[in-house]
Amino acid sequence: MILAQSSPLRPISANGPVLELKNLGVAYGRGAASVQVVHDVSLAVERGEALGIVGESGCGKSQTMLAALGLLPRGGRITSGQVLLEGQDLVGRSPRQMRPVRGREIALISQDALTSLNPAMTIGKQMAEPMIHYGGMSRSAARQRCTELLDLVGIPGAAARLASYPHELSGGMRQRALIAMAISANPKVLIADEPTTALDVTTQSQILRLIDSLRKELGMALILITHDLGVVAGVADRVAVLYAGRVVETAETETLFAAPRHPYTKALLDSIARIEDDVAERLNPIPGLPPDPRNPVSGCAFHPRCEYSREICRNALPILEDGTGAQHPVRCHVDPFVSSSLRAVGGAR
Protein backbone atom coordinates (compact mmCIF):
# COMPACT_ATOMS: atom_id res chain seq x y z
CA MET A 1 0.00 0.00 0.00
CA ILE A 2 1.52 3.25 -1.11
CA LEU A 3 -0.20 5.23 1.56
CA ALA A 4 0.93 3.15 4.47
CA GLN A 5 4.65 3.45 3.89
CA SER A 6 6.16 5.75 6.46
CA SER A 7 8.30 8.64 5.40
CA PRO A 8 12.02 8.14 5.96
CA LEU A 9 12.17 11.12 8.26
CA ARG A 10 9.81 9.53 10.74
CA PRO A 11 11.63 7.91 13.65
CA ILE A 12 10.66 4.26 13.71
CA SER A 13 10.77 3.69 17.42
CA ALA A 14 10.25 6.91 19.27
CA ASN A 15 8.99 6.22 22.74
CA GLY A 16 6.42 8.27 24.51
CA PRO A 17 3.28 9.94 23.23
CA VAL A 18 3.24 11.33 19.71
CA LEU A 19 1.13 14.27 20.82
CA GLU A 20 0.88 15.50 24.36
CA LEU A 21 -0.94 18.48 25.82
CA LYS A 22 0.39 19.67 29.16
CA ASN A 23 -1.70 21.96 31.35
CA LEU A 24 -3.14 23.69 28.30
CA GLY A 25 -5.27 26.78 28.92
CA VAL A 26 -7.22 28.74 26.31
CA ALA A 27 -8.92 32.11 26.74
CA TYR A 28 -10.77 34.62 24.58
CA GLY A 29 -10.49 38.37 24.91
CA ARG A 30 -8.13 40.34 27.08
CA GLY A 31 -8.11 41.99 30.46
CA ALA A 32 -11.36 42.13 32.37
CA ALA A 33 -13.33 40.78 29.40
CA SER A 34 -11.14 37.69 29.19
CA VAL A 35 -13.02 34.38 29.23
CA GLN A 36 -11.19 31.17 30.05
CA VAL A 37 -12.69 28.34 27.99
CA VAL A 38 -10.06 25.63 28.57
CA HIS A 39 -8.38 25.15 31.94
CA ASP A 40 -5.30 23.12 32.60
CA VAL A 41 -6.04 20.29 30.17
CA SER A 42 -3.46 17.49 30.00
CA LEU A 43 -3.90 14.75 27.46
CA ALA A 44 -1.61 12.39 25.62
CA VAL A 45 -2.03 10.08 22.69
CA GLU A 46 0.39 7.29 21.82
CA ARG A 47 1.47 6.39 18.33
CA GLY A 48 -1.40 4.57 16.61
CA GLU A 49 -3.66 4.97 19.60
CA ALA A 50 -7.28 6.18 19.39
CA LEU A 51 -8.26 8.66 22.08
CA GLY A 52 -11.87 9.75 22.48
CA ILE A 53 -12.64 13.21 23.88
CA VAL A 54 -16.21 13.42 25.10
CA GLY A 55 -18.35 16.21 26.46
CA GLU A 56 -21.38 18.34 25.70
CA SER A 57 -21.04 21.11 23.17
CA GLY A 58 -19.30 24.13 24.62
CA CYS A 59 -17.17 22.12 27.05
CA GLY A 60 -13.94 23.11 25.33
CA LYS A 61 -13.20 19.95 23.30
CA SER A 62 -12.84 21.70 19.97
CA GLN A 63 -11.07 24.71 21.48
CA THR A 64 -8.45 22.40 22.99
CA MET A 65 -7.74 20.75 19.66
CA LEU A 66 -7.78 23.97 17.65
CA ALA A 67 -5.29 25.37 20.14
CA ALA A 68 -3.07 22.35 19.57
CA LEU A 69 -3.05 23.11 15.83
CA GLY A 70 -2.59 26.84 16.41
CA LEU A 71 -5.91 27.46 14.66
CA LEU A 72 -7.82 29.32 17.36
CA PRO A 73 -10.17 31.90 15.86
CA ARG A 74 -9.32 35.59 16.16
CA GLY A 75 -9.37 36.65 19.79
CA GLY A 76 -8.48 33.23 21.14
CA ARG A 77 -5.07 32.54 22.69
CA ILE A 78 -3.19 29.92 24.65
CA THR A 79 -2.76 31.15 28.20
CA SER A 80 -0.67 28.33 29.61
CA GLY A 81 0.83 24.94 29.00
CA GLN A 82 2.55 23.11 26.22
CA VAL A 83 1.61 21.24 23.07
CA LEU A 84 4.29 18.63 22.55
CA LEU A 85 4.57 16.95 19.17
CA GLU A 86 7.10 14.14 19.68
CA GLY A 87 8.57 16.19 22.49
CA GLN A 88 8.77 19.47 20.52
CA ASP A 89 6.68 22.31 21.94
CA LEU A 90 4.41 23.90 19.32
CA VAL A 91 3.16 26.74 21.55
CA GLY A 92 4.59 30.09 20.51
CA ARG A 93 5.56 28.98 17.03
CA SER A 94 4.90 31.49 14.29
CA PRO A 95 2.29 30.70 11.64
CA ARG A 96 5.12 30.11 9.21
CA GLN A 97 6.69 27.55 11.56
CA MET A 98 3.34 25.90 12.20
CA ARG A 99 2.53 25.39 8.54
CA PRO A 100 4.71 22.31 7.98
CA VAL A 101 3.12 20.74 11.07
CA ARG A 102 -0.43 21.22 9.84
CA GLY A 103 -1.64 18.50 7.53
CA ARG A 104 1.67 16.65 7.55
CA GLU A 105 2.07 15.97 11.28
CA ILE A 106 -1.37 16.75 12.64
CA ALA A 107 -4.43 16.73 10.39
CA LEU A 108 -7.98 17.83 11.10
CA ILE A 109 -11.39 16.57 10.01
CA SER A 110 -14.05 19.16 10.82
CA GLN A 111 -17.60 18.35 11.72
CA ASP A 112 -19.62 19.85 8.90
CA ALA A 113 -18.18 18.72 5.60
CA LEU A 114 -20.45 21.02 3.62
CA THR A 115 -19.06 24.19 5.20
CA SER A 116 -15.59 22.72 5.62
CA LEU A 117 -15.02 22.29 1.90
CA ASN A 118 -14.45 25.34 -0.24
CA PRO A 119 -17.68 25.80 -2.25
CA ALA A 120 -15.92 27.61 -5.07
CA MET A 121 -13.24 24.99 -5.73
CA THR A 122 -13.51 21.51 -7.19
CA ILE A 123 -12.75 18.62 -4.87
CA GLY A 124 -9.65 17.76 -6.89
CA LYS A 125 -8.29 21.26 -6.80
CA GLN A 126 -8.60 21.71 -3.07
CA MET A 127 -7.27 18.22 -2.37
CA ALA A 128 -4.23 18.71 -4.56
CA GLU A 129 -3.39 22.23 -3.39
CA PRO A 130 -0.92 21.37 -0.60
CA MET A 131 0.57 18.49 -2.61
CA ILE A 132 1.43 20.73 -5.53
CA HIS A 133 2.44 23.85 -3.65
CA TYR A 134 4.11 22.42 -0.58
CA GLY A 135 4.70 18.74 -1.38
CA GLY A 136 6.61 19.34 -4.59
CA MET A 137 4.34 17.07 -6.62
CA SER A 138 3.60 17.61 -10.28
CA ARG A 139 0.02 18.26 -11.32
CA SER A 140 -0.38 14.80 -12.82
CA ALA A 141 1.20 13.07 -9.83
CA ALA A 142 -1.09 15.00 -7.50
CA ARG A 143 -4.06 14.04 -9.61
CA GLN A 144 -3.02 10.40 -9.48
CA ARG A 145 -2.59 10.61 -5.73
CA CYS A 146 -5.98 12.30 -5.22
CA THR A 147 -7.69 9.57 -7.20
CA GLU A 148 -6.02 6.93 -5.01
CA LEU A 149 -7.07 8.75 -1.88
CA LEU A 150 -10.71 9.09 -2.98
CA ASP A 151 -10.62 5.42 -3.88
CA LEU A 152 -9.22 4.60 -0.48
CA VAL A 153 -12.01 6.42 1.37
CA GLY A 154 -14.58 4.58 -0.72
CA ILE A 155 -15.78 7.20 -3.15
CA PRO A 156 -16.98 5.41 -6.28
CA GLY A 157 -15.79 6.78 -9.62
CA ALA A 158 -12.98 8.64 -7.87
CA ALA A 159 -11.32 10.09 -10.97
CA ALA A 160 -14.57 11.67 -12.15
CA ARG A 161 -15.31 13.12 -8.71
CA LEU A 162 -12.19 15.28 -8.79
CA ALA A 163 -14.00 17.70 -11.08
CA SER A 164 -17.07 17.93 -8.80
CA TYR A 165 -17.90 20.86 -6.58
CA PRO A 166 -18.69 20.03 -2.94
CA HIS A 167 -22.40 20.79 -3.29
CA GLU A 168 -22.67 18.15 -6.01
CA LEU A 169 -21.77 15.37 -3.56
CA SER A 170 -23.96 13.73 -0.91
CA GLY A 171 -23.27 14.40 2.76
CA GLY A 172 -21.51 11.08 3.23
CA MET A 173 -19.39 11.59 0.12
CA ARG A 174 -18.38 15.05 1.26
CA GLN A 175 -17.28 13.69 4.62
CA ARG A 176 -15.27 11.00 2.85
CA ALA A 177 -13.64 13.61 0.64
CA LEU A 178 -12.77 15.66 3.72
CA ILE A 179 -11.22 12.57 5.29
CA ALA A 180 -9.25 11.90 2.12
CA MET A 181 -7.92 15.46 2.27
CA ALA A 182 -6.95 15.07 5.92
CA ILE A 183 -4.95 11.87 5.40
CA SER A 184 -3.38 13.01 2.13
CA ALA A 185 -0.05 13.94 3.70
CA ASN A 186 0.24 10.87 5.96
CA PRO A 187 -0.21 12.70 9.24
CA LYS A 188 0.95 11.16 12.50
CA VAL A 189 -2.08 12.44 14.35
CA LEU A 190 -5.58 12.75 12.96
CA ILE A 191 -8.00 14.95 14.87
CA ALA A 192 -11.62 14.21 13.98
CA ASP A 193 -13.94 16.87 15.41
CA GLU A 194 -17.48 15.46 15.56
CA PRO A 195 -16.95 13.82 12.16
CA THR A 196 -20.41 12.29 12.05
CA THR A 197 -22.83 14.79 13.63
CA ALA A 198 -24.05 16.17 10.31
CA LEU A 199 -24.81 12.70 8.93
CA ASP A 200 -27.66 10.22 9.12
CA VAL A 201 -27.28 7.18 11.35
CA THR A 202 -26.27 4.62 8.69
CA THR A 203 -23.71 6.92 7.14
CA GLN A 204 -22.41 7.74 10.64
CA SER A 205 -21.35 4.20 11.34
CA GLN A 206 -19.82 3.82 7.87
CA ILE A 207 -17.73 6.95 8.34
CA LEU A 208 -16.64 5.86 11.82
CA ARG A 209 -15.57 2.47 10.52
CA LEU A 210 -13.71 4.18 7.68
CA ILE A 211 -11.81 6.47 10.05
CA ASP A 212 -10.98 3.56 12.29
CA SER A 213 -9.72 1.35 9.49
CA LEU A 214 -7.65 4.17 8.01
CA ARG A 215 -6.07 4.74 11.40
CA LYS A 216 -5.02 1.13 11.63
CA GLU A 217 -3.89 0.95 8.02
CA LEU A 218 -1.85 4.15 8.13
CA GLY A 219 -0.65 3.83 11.69
CA MET A 220 -1.98 7.22 12.73
CA ALA A 221 -2.92 8.27 16.20
CA LEU A 222 -6.57 9.35 16.28
CA ILE A 223 -8.19 11.93 18.49
CA LEU A 224 -11.94 11.59 18.14
CA ILE A 225 -13.93 14.50 19.51
CA THR A 226 -17.61 13.87 20.13
CA HIS A 227 -20.52 14.70 22.38
CA ASP A 228 -21.77 11.15 22.02
CA LEU A 229 -20.22 8.38 24.10
CA GLY A 230 -21.83 5.88 21.74
CA VAL A 231 -19.54 7.08 18.97
CA VAL A 232 -16.31 6.43 20.89
CA ALA A 233 -17.42 3.02 22.13
CA GLY A 234 -16.36 1.03 19.10
CA VAL A 235 -13.37 3.15 18.11
CA ALA A 236 -11.42 4.68 20.98
CA ASP A 237 -8.86 2.84 23.10
CA ARG A 238 -9.09 5.44 25.83
CA VAL A 239 -11.57 8.18 26.60
CA ALA A 240 -11.16 11.57 28.25
CA VAL A 241 -14.33 13.25 29.49
CA LEU A 242 -14.32 17.07 29.45
CA TYR A 243 -16.66 19.31 31.37
CA ALA A 244 -16.55 23.12 31.47
CA GLY A 245 -13.07 23.20 29.97
CA ARG A 246 -11.56 20.64 32.34
CA VAL A 247 -10.78 16.95 32.08
CA VAL A 248 -13.03 15.28 34.66
CA GLU A 249 -12.25 11.63 33.98
CA THR A 250 -9.90 9.51 31.87
CA ALA A 251 -9.93 5.76 31.46
CA GLU A 252 -9.62 2.85 29.08
CA THR A 253 -12.82 2.77 27.07
CA GLU A 254 -14.01 -0.53 28.52
CA THR A 255 -13.29 0.55 32.07
CA LEU A 256 -15.09 3.81 31.56
CA PHE A 257 -18.17 2.11 30.22
CA ALA A 258 -18.17 -0.62 32.82
CA ALA A 259 -17.30 1.48 35.87
CA PRO A 260 -17.63 5.23 35.39
CA ARG A 261 -16.46 7.24 38.39
CA HIS A 262 -17.65 10.75 37.65
CA PRO A 263 -21.36 11.53 37.96
CA TYR A 264 -21.16 13.44 34.67
CA THR A 265 -19.77 10.39 32.86
CA LYS A 266 -22.50 8.30 34.40
CA ALA A 267 -25.13 10.75 33.20
CA LEU A 268 -23.65 10.72 29.69
CA LEU A 269 -23.74 6.91 29.68
CA ASP A 270 -27.35 6.93 30.83
CA SER A 271 -28.20 9.26 27.98
CA ILE A 272 -26.98 6.68 25.45
CA ALA A 273 -29.42 4.16 26.82
CA ARG A 274 -32.15 6.71 26.59
CA ILE A 275 -31.30 7.56 22.99
CA GLU A 276 -32.09 4.01 22.06
CA ASP A 277 -35.56 4.40 23.51
CA ASP A 278 -36.34 7.79 22.19
CA VAL A 279 -34.32 9.77 19.69
CA ALA A 280 -35.83 13.07 20.77
CA GLU A 281 -34.21 12.76 24.20
CA ARG A 282 -30.84 13.20 22.58
CA LEU A 283 -31.18 16.97 22.44
CA ASN A 284 -30.88 17.30 26.18
CA PRO A 285 -29.56 14.12 27.65
CA ILE A 286 -28.74 15.58 31.06
CA PRO A 287 -31.03 17.94 32.93
CA GLY A 288 -29.78 21.51 32.98
CA LEU A 289 -27.21 23.19 30.81
CA PRO A 290 -23.42 23.27 30.93
CA PRO A 291 -22.14 26.48 32.53
CA ASP A 292 -21.44 29.55 30.42
CA PRO A 293 -17.66 30.15 30.48
CA ARG A 294 -18.40 33.85 30.98
CA ASN A 295 -19.98 33.05 34.36
CA PRO A 296 -17.79 30.35 35.86
CA VAL A 297 -19.33 28.12 38.52
CA SER A 298 -17.62 27.92 41.90
CA GLY A 299 -16.10 24.68 43.08
CA CYS A 300 -16.83 21.69 40.89
CA ALA A 301 -18.40 23.06 37.72
CA PHE A 302 -20.83 20.16 37.56
CA HIS A 303 -22.30 20.63 41.04
CA PRO A 304 -25.49 22.49 40.00
CA ARG A 305 -26.53 19.54 37.85
CA CYS A 306 -25.16 16.77 40.06
CA GLU A 307 -27.47 14.64 42.15
CA TYR A 308 -24.59 13.72 44.49
CA SER A 309 -23.53 17.31 45.09
CA ARG A 310 -22.44 18.22 48.64
CA GLU A 311 -21.25 21.32 50.45
CA ILE A 312 -17.61 20.82 49.43
CA CYS A 313 -18.56 20.56 45.75
CA ARG A 314 -19.81 24.14 45.82
CA ASN A 315 -16.70 25.53 47.47
CA ALA A 316 -13.65 23.63 46.28
CA LEU A 317 -12.45 22.58 42.86
CA PRO A 318 -11.68 18.86 43.00
CA ILE A 319 -8.33 17.79 41.61
CA LEU A 320 -7.88 15.15 38.94
CA GLU A 321 -6.59 12.19 40.95
CA ASP A 322 -6.11 8.55 40.39
CA GLY A 323 -7.32 7.30 43.75
CA THR A 324 -7.49 3.63 42.87
CA GLY A 325 -4.19 3.43 41.01
CA ALA A 326 -5.97 1.79 38.09
CA GLN A 327 -4.97 4.40 35.46
CA HIS A 328 -8.39 5.88 35.97
CA PRO A 329 -8.09 9.46 37.27
CA VAL A 330 -11.24 11.39 38.13
CA ARG A 331 -12.00 14.97 39.23
CA CYS A 332 -14.68 14.47 41.87
CA HIS A 333 -15.05 14.99 45.62
CA VAL A 334 -17.73 12.37 45.86
CA ASP A 335 -16.90 9.60 43.40
CA PRO A 336 -20.16 7.78 44.13
CA PHE A 337 -19.66 4.82 41.83
CA VAL A 338 -16.54 3.47 43.48
CA SER A 339 -16.75 4.13 47.14
CA SER A 340 -19.87 2.74 48.74
CA SER A 341 -19.36 4.88 51.80
CA LEU A 342 -19.46 8.03 49.73
CA ARG A 343 -22.45 6.78 47.86
CA ALA A 344 -24.17 6.51 51.18
CA VAL A 345 -23.27 10.12 51.91
CA GLY A 346 -24.56 11.20 48.56
CA GLY A 347 -27.72 9.24 48.97
CA ALA A 348 -28.34 10.62 52.43
CA ARG A 349 -28.12 14.18 51.23
- Interacting residues toward another protein by CB under 8 A: 69, 71, 73-75, 95, 99-104, 107-108, 110, 112, 115-121, 126, 129-130, 133-134, 165, 167-168, 178, 181-182, 184-185
Q: Are 62 and 33 in contact (CB under 8 A)?
A: no
Instruction: In whole angstroms, give the CA distance from residue 240 to residue 248.
Output: 8
- Does the CA dihedral 251-221-195-320 come out positive or negative? positive
Q: Are 78 and 91 in contact (CB under 8 A)?
A: yes
- Does the CA dihedral 251-253-258-264 come out positive or negative? positive
Shortest Å, Cβ 133 to another protein: 7
Shortest Å, Cβ 29 to another protein: 11
Shortest Å, Cβ 30 to another protein: 11
What burial letters (b/e) apply to 62-92, b meaning 16+ CB within 10 Å?
bbbbbbbbbebeeebebbbbbbbbbeeebbe
Nearer to another protein, 185 or 275 (CB): 185
Nearer to another protein, 30 or 156 (CB): 30
Instruction: In whole angstroms, give the CA distance from residue 172 to residue 158.
Output: 14
Shortest Å, Cβ 102 to another protein: 4
Shortest Å, Cβ 123 to another protein: 12
- Cα–Cα distances (Å) from 143 to 63, 177, 270, in that order, read 34, 14, 47
Nearer to another protein, 117 or 236 (CB): 117
Shortest Å, Cβ 71 to another protein: 6
Nearer to another protein, 31 or 287 (CB): 31
Nearer to another protein, 6 or 97 (CB): 97
Shortest Å, Cβ 23 to another protein: 24
Shortest Å, Cβ 301 to another protein: 28
Nearer to another protein, 91 or 317 (CB): 91
What burial letters (b/e) apply to 241-258, b meaning 16+ CB within 10 Å?
bbbbbbbbbbbebebbbe
Task: Count the residues in the chain.
Answer: 349
Nearer to another protein, 22 or 104 (CB): 104
Nearer to another protein, 68 or 251 (CB): 68
Q: Give, in degrees to the nearest 5, the angle at Cα 59 between 53 and 64.
A: 60
Shortest Å, Cβ 163 to another protein: 11
Nearer to another protein, 134 or 257 (CB): 134
DSSP per-residue string spanning 2-27? TTTSPPTTS-TT--S-SEEEEEEEEE
CB atoms within 10 A of CB 216: 12
Tell me the one-letter amino acid at 323: G
DSSP state, 297? P
Instruction: In whole angstroms, give the CA distance from residue 297 to residue 317.
Output: 10
